[in-house]
Amino acid sequence: METTNEKLYEKCHPQSHSFYQRLKCLENIKKIGYQTRTGVLIGTPAQTLKDLAEDILFYRDFDIDMIGMGPWVIHYDRLWGKEFKYWFEKKKKTIFELSIKMIAVARFVLKDVNTVST
């Protein structure tokens, strides 16, 4: 999902994507018995530490089986690429460090989750 913050999700995705439809997909996957996977892009513009904490709590409460976590890396020809180019250049070390910390916190809180870390 990249984020469990609905407003941030809407900023990261085209209008044709629905936050609630994505949640419904996760619910349906879980309901039919498949392992459920989601994840987070760490360090996107406008994301807060509270957003990241709420992501981990969502994974815990939803009993997610696998999470993918990794730093947001800018592509200058994509969404936010030109707009946040200079911002990203200043923040990329912080984003990397935050990613490592986020993975560590997830390991403490989510004892039985499989973690894919990029």
Determine the structural domain holding residue 88 and report its residue range: 6-117
Q: What's the whole-model pTM score?
A: 0.86
Q: Is residue 81 part of a domain?
A: yes
CATH number of the domain that residue 28 is part of: 3.30.750
CA distances to 66, 110, 112 from 23, rounded to whole Å, are: 15, 19, 21
Tell me whether residue 1 is in a domain. no
As for how many domains the chain has, the answer is 1
In a domain, 25, yes or no: yes
Position 34 in a domain: yes
Confidence of residue 118 (pLDDT cuts 50, 70, 90): low
pLDDT digits 0-9 by tens, 42-101: 998 889 999 999 999 999 999 999 999 989 888 888 777 787 888 888 999 999 999 999
Using alpha carbons, select from 57, 53, 37 the residue that is nearest to residue 110. 57
CA contacts within 13 A on the Cβ side of 5: 18
In a domain, 76, yes or no: yes
Q: How many CB atoms lie within 10 A of CB 24?
A: 11
